[in-house]
Amino acid sequence: MTIANQDECLYIRRYSALKGLQKGRVLSYSALDTPQGPRLTLSCEREGEDRSAACLCPSLTFAQARAVVLFLYENGAETENWLDLLQDRQILFAPLA
């Protein structure tokens, strides 16, 4: 599912539970335009547990942030490594608690 407008976008990737192969989960990738710069968030819902991480990317335009979120979505980035992917691409970010 994809939702996009002028100041926010959301991509949702669903993984099926396949016995003996993988657990079902839902990954959500989003960008929201804020006065401090684009806020990127990645969330993972698995077996009733919800984990998420967010960061601000003040050096990006919102159009660039949307492209980054689409890249993360298309490459199936996980909550454990997505900030490393930003760093590898030299995207400046400030993690949010």
Listing DSSP states for 1-65 in one string gives -EEE-SSEEEEEEEE--BTTTB--EEEEEEEE--TTS-EEEEEEEETTEEEEEEEE-TTS-HHHH
Domain range summary for the chain, segments of one domain joined by +: 2-96
pLDDT score of 33: 96
Q: How far apart are CA 9 and CA 47, in angstroms?
A: 25
CB 93, CB 56: distance < 8 Å: yes
> To 5 degrees, how large is the angle CA 93–CA 88–CA 67?
65
Q: How confident is the chain (97 residues) per 10-residue block, as mean pLDDT?
A: 76 94 94 96 91 96 96 92 93 93
pLDDT score of 97: 77
